Amino acid sequence: MDRRDFFRTFLKRTAIGAGITAAGAAGLLGYYQPRREFYSDPNALEENEGAERLEVPKKAVVIGGGLAGMTAAMELAKRNFEVTLVEESGDMGGKLTGWDVDALGERFPVEHGFHGYFDQYYNLNELFAAAKVGDVFTPAPGYPVKFRERPMEVFGQTPKVFPLNILTVVQQSESLDMVPIVKNFREMLPVLDMFRYEYDRTFDRYDGMDFMTFCREREVYEPFLTTVLHPFSDATMNRMEVLSAAEALRYFHFYFLGSPEALGFRITRKSCMHALVDPVVSMLEGLGVTVRTGAKVDRLVFEGDRVSGVVLGGGGDSGDVLRLPAAEVREGEWLSRSLGDGTPVLVTMRGGRYVAFDATCTHMGCPVHPAEKTGGFFCPCHAGVFDAEGNAVGGPPEDPLGRFDVTVSGGELVLSRPDRAGGPEVLACDYCVLAANVRGTKAVLGKSDVRDEEFSKSIASLGEADPYVVWRLWLDRPVTSAEYPFYTVAGYRYTDSVSLFSSFQEPFISWAAKSGGSVVELHAYAIAPEDVRPDEEIRRTMLDEMHHMFPETKNARVLYDVYMQQDNFTRWAPGDHARRPGSQTPYWNLFLAGDWVKVDAPVFLMEAATFTGRLAANAIARKEWLRPTSLPIVPMDGIFA
């Protein structure tokens, strides 16, 4: 049918404007309702086939301690695999990890940013249930969108019954009401593609364009674009101008239009690290998983069509040696270079002696920069601080920076890693799950002897989204005009969301009560290349934006702050999807997991990471003729697919 016929069908089926008849209501409450489903893996065993557990344990190494890695480790340990979970950071959790800072005479938890836990995160919620996280959540009172040039809109708390969930969004909005929408129905027709989400068709038709182009070319009704589509799509951490239209359609299908759970989400009453990650790690250790934190994976060892081992630390090969002209290194000036594997190196001369550091932060592998005021180093990603000798003195890092031996040969400097007694540690494995983020995955496989050209190209095609900023501020007074704990923000240069931690999370609630202050967190989801500026300029601009949103903060004094700029979120650009690697690889015992893995299931962000962790574990179980774990999902297709 053409778009006009489709729109008439939509009106007829939803009975908009004519009332819902008994027969129509029965249909809407039946056939057209989104329902929770279970993912159908064509290669999986039937649930009643195979054994529950291995009789004789086999070794599995899982690389990456985020949600994907922790989930895969749990599923394999439950099946009696001998699991070693390796995480480069000193703490588990990936983007859910956190650390403590000493500030204002107290100790506070800090994390990567605000997280909302949606009801349709079925697999993630099952992970938390298995870990017995307890009563740590509270429902969010709504989903407010704070605009720069017009009044705030508040969404959320909608019915779960279609079409009432959609109509309620319109009813809640001051700028969206049914009369102009019906009047301008031609401009709303492209939106109906969201109701017709269907994996193959959607990606075939729309993955080649960005979401902004999709909306502009189809002349989407402007109030709907600015009120709903733009603010909500920004939460993918990818700007509309560089976000695949197909990924955006999957995103809206998963979070709202195709979800039986509507737009309800929960927030934690204490930090994610303490509320969620710590219980999951305890659960894993209780299952017998060996958790190795602060252990960097160097590369995989391939033997034919399988992985035989995982090498930890540096491998002592040519990739760990750097040669450069000695004349380039000057007294007191840091020279930045990279090893063949991409490892950043900082080298200088002090008192006539050459000094070189591995400029990789020992917290989560981000590059560090020289700090002119202290003579040490600073990690802008997580506010890690190192002194002039590379020792960790502030923020989350606990281990010192790595150092290089420097020798002079003629007019050339030769930088090499210190020799390791006995050589690098190698973890033998029967199976391996690579569940690092995009950067970590590319680094590990880039140093490995991967001989499958198509697989190498697929890994090389992975990308990261534009940088984002998380800035937490302790203010000396309350934010009295803030009615909600969390705001999505639209129309500002940098700020995309605001979280009032002193209104929903301890110990910030208690600190605010006794100090009379508040704790506010500002997020810039994705900074366009043309808006990348020095940190001080971004801070000044975001501070001005907070003052515009909450005028009472103009007179507030910042007592303490933690500012972080990072660039580790997955990119979902046009054309990326076709090139992505899937969970299974050309190597029969190597599997991939993470939100960047190509799957046909309608999952996104944290749920995608958890889902793919389970998917990888199911694939390994199939190799050993073990029963799979059921994978709940929102409907595979849109209501009108």
SS3 labels along 469-489? EEEEEEECCCCCCCCCCEEEE
Tokens of 503: 């209104």
Worst-scoring range by mean pLDDT, 87-91, 133-137, 160-164, 308-312? Answer: 160-164
Tokens of 534: 């020095």
Instruction: Say if residues 631 and 39 touch (Cβ distance below 8 Å).
Output: yes
β-pairing, 98-103 vs 106-111, is antiparallel
Tokens of 252: 């809206």
Residue 240 confidence (pLDDT) above 90:
yes
Beta carbons within 10 angstroms of residue 409's beta carbon = 9
Confidence band for 488, pLDDT divided at 50, 70 and 90: very high
Q: State how far the alpha carbon of 76 is from the alpha carbons of 61, 218, 493, 616, 618, in Å.
A: 10, 47, 45, 9, 9
Please give the pLDDT value at position 374. 83
Q: Report H helices in 198-307.
A: 199-206, 211-217, 222-224, 230-234, 245-252, 272, 278-286
Beta carbons within 10 angstroms of residue 42's beta carbon = 4
Instruction: Say if residues 566 and 538 touch (Cβ distance below 8 Å).
Output: no
Grouping H, G, I as helix, E, B as strand and the rest as coil, residue 345 is: strand
Confidence band for 160, pLDDT divided at 50, 70 and 90: low
Instruction: Say if residues 154 and 144 touch (Cβ distance below 8 Å).
Output: yes
Tokens of 104: 């204002």
Q: Residue 135 class from Cβ within 10 Å (0-12 exposed, 13-18 middle, 19+ buried)? A: exposed
Instruction: Please state the rounded mean pLDDT for residues 204-221.
Output: 91
Residues above pLDDT 90, as percent of the chain: 59
Tell me the C-alpha distance between 479 and 486, whole Å.
Answer: 12
Instruction: Please state the rounded mean pLDDT for residues 233-243.
Output: 93
- Residue that wins the pLDDT comparison between 546 and 423: 546
Q: How many helices (H) and strands (E) does the chain have?
A: 21, 32
Instruction: Please state the rounded mean pLDDT for residues 341-367.
Output: 85
Please give the pLDDT value at position 92. 94
Helix-strand-coil percent breakdown of the chain, rounded to 5?
30, 25, 40
Question: C-alpha angle 547/552/554, rounded to 5°?
Answer: 45
Tell me the C-alpha distance between 348 and 356, whole Å.
Answer: 6
User: Mean pLDDT highest for which of 3-17, 334-348, 484-498?
Assistant: 484-498
- Nearest alpha-carbon partner for 114 in 138, 96, 136: 96
Instruction: Please state the rounded mean pLDDT for residues 356-376.
Output: 85
Q: Residue 457 class from Cβ within 10 Å (0-12 exposed, 13-18 middle, 19+ buried)? A: exposed
Confidence band for 210, pLDDT divided at 50, 70 and 90: very high
The pair phi, psi for residue 467, each rounded to 5°, is -65, 155
Confidence band for 597, pLDDT divided at 50, 70 and 90: very high
Tell me the C-alpha distance between 479 and 498, whole Å.
Answer: 12
Confidence band for 187, pLDDT divided at 50, 70 and 90: low
Grouping H, G, I as helix, E, B as strand and the rest as coil, residue 242 is: helix
Instruction: Say if residues 243 and 236 touch (Cβ distance below 8 Å).
Output: yes
Worst-scoring range by mean pLDDT, 184-198, 363-377, 456-470, 546-560? Answer: 184-198
- Nearest alpha-carbon partner for 441 in 570, 537, 574: 570
Across the chain, mean pLDDT equals 87
Grouping H, G, I as helix, E, B as strand and the rest as coil, residue 208 is: coil
Please give the pLDDT value at position 315. 41
Instruction: Say if residues 166 and 314 touch (Cβ distance below 8 Å).
Output: no
Question: Which one-letter DSSP state was computed for residue 188?
Answer: H
Confidence band for 229, pLDDT divided at 50, 70 and 90: confident
Residue with tokens 């799979």: 628
Confidence band for 110, pLDDT divided at 50, 70 and 90: very high
Tell me the C-alpha distance between 276 and 268, whole Å.
Answer: 9
Domains parsed from the chain with CATH numbers: 33-139+268-313+424-463+571-641 (3.50.50.60), 141-263 (no CATH), 318-416 (2.102.10.10), 466-566 (3.90.660.50)
